[in-house]
Structure 1
Amino acid sequence: MKMQANQIRPGHVLEHQGKRWSVLKIQLIQPGKGGAFIAVEMRDLESGNKTNERWRTADTVERLEVRERDAQYLFQDDHGYTFMDSETFEQFTMPTDMIGERAAFLQESMQVTVDLIEGQPVSINLPSQVILEVVEADAVVKGQTASSSYKPGVLENGLKVMIPPFIEAGTKIVVSTTIPPEYVERAK
């Protein structure tokens, strides 16, 4: 299915130069002069090689039809991340570089959606939000107002996020699974 380059998202699978590529990262670049373009980091599904491509935002690319299956995250080892298909209970492992930076959000028994092409897992889709504990938080600076200032905090998975001044270490918060992660609210 054809789509415009500005609609490419991490996790999409594209057909390019006769190969199938999984999109790892995208970056919209708007130079001061000339039109905007999309820089895309992709991984070849067969060989595992990575490449970077650039398309103008109006260019069209071929997105492959992907079948989605629900799965449960089980564990990580030297071979990658292991999941279990929720319908067939079959286990499969995805390489670490195929999941990328989103692996930091995986939690034991987490339900995810796995994208398959011809029965082969090519990417995962995480829930939009997860609950994580803040393990480090700077002290509140006297005189800061809660409405406009945020302070840096470190989550249990090692990622950094800007949090409101009233959040302290040991507090569980809801975080978006985007890169970089964003604070949503205090967990209930």
Structure 2
Amino acid sequence: MISTNDFKKGLRYEHEGAPWQIMEHTVHNPSARGAATLVKVKARNLVTNQVLQKSFKSGDLFEEPDLNKLEVQFLYEEGDDLVFMDRETYEQYNVGKAHFGDSLPWMTDGFELDLLQYNGEIISIDMPKSVIVTITSVEQGAKGDTASGKVMSRGMLENGIELMVPTFIKEGSKIKVDPSANTYLGRES
């Protein structure tokens, strides 16, 4: 069981038959004698992605959600689904493209990520914090203050995603990218 005393950012709990993840929480101690301490949370429903603010009494108890993280590798596209293989059990999972949104271009042969299951159903994906990719082309950046590293060029990645990279990055370079935000993180040596 999870108590409101255990609440912290990122904690997952089950409430009203759905899994929730805490985004923010605060504890309010009313000044009136005998008044209950309130715990206010901003939480996201992991099934619907709905964000709500709720208040609970201090000491309220919640079940732990039946969540299972699967480490998978992308295999191929099949109609409106993407097919993944569990890296431990080799079991295959079909996941609707709707789960991926802006992350769909990252689904290239062998791409690894985590799937989150709730009661046996896949409800969301967790992209890796960073991936190593190759730059296939770079537009020339504007002349100027290149010493500060602030001049950026438009770069094209091997998976067709376009992002801004420092001007010292050349075609064929391997770079580290945050796939959730499509941002340059650094050069890979």
Normalised TM-score (structure 2): 0.63
1:63 to 1:148, Cα distance in 2 relative to 1, 3 A: farther
Letter in 1 for 2:122: P
The aligned runs of 1:17-32 (5 Å cut-off) are 18=17
After superposition, what is the alpha-carbon deviation per residue over 1:128-184, rounded to whole angstroms, capped at 9, x for unaligned? 21122223422133333242413232323333322111112332211112x322212
Residue in 2 aligned with 1:71? 72
- State the identity %: 26
Say whether residues 1:176 and 2:187 are aligned partners: no
Match of 2:162 in 1: 160
Larger Rg, first or second structure (1 or 2): 2
Cα pair distance change 1:120/1:149, threshold 3 Å: same
Unaligned runs of 5+ in 2: 24-40, 57-61
Write out per-residue CA displacement over residues 63-103 of structure 1, whole angstroms, 9 at most, x where no aligned residue: 83411222222112323111112233221110011122223
The alignment of Structure 1 onto Structure 2 pairs a total of residues equal to 165
Which ranges of structure 1 fall in alignment gaps of 5 or more residues?
A: 27-36, 45-49
Judging changes above 3 Å, is the alpha-carbon distance between structure 1 residues 101 and 39 closer, same or farther for their aligned structure 2 residues?
Answer: farther
1:21-170 alignment to 2 at 5 Å? 44=47, 53-55=51-53, 64-151=65-152, 152-170=154-172
The alignment's TM-score, normalised by the length of structure 1, stands at 0.64
97 and 109 in structure 1: CA distance in 2 versus 1, 3 angstrom threshold:
same
CA displacement at 1:127 relative to structure 2: 2.4
Is this contact kept in 2: 1:72–1:112, CA < 8 A? yes
Q: CA RMSD in A?
A: 3.8
Preserved CA contact (<8 Å) 1:75 1:83: yes
Which residue is equivalent to 2:37? none
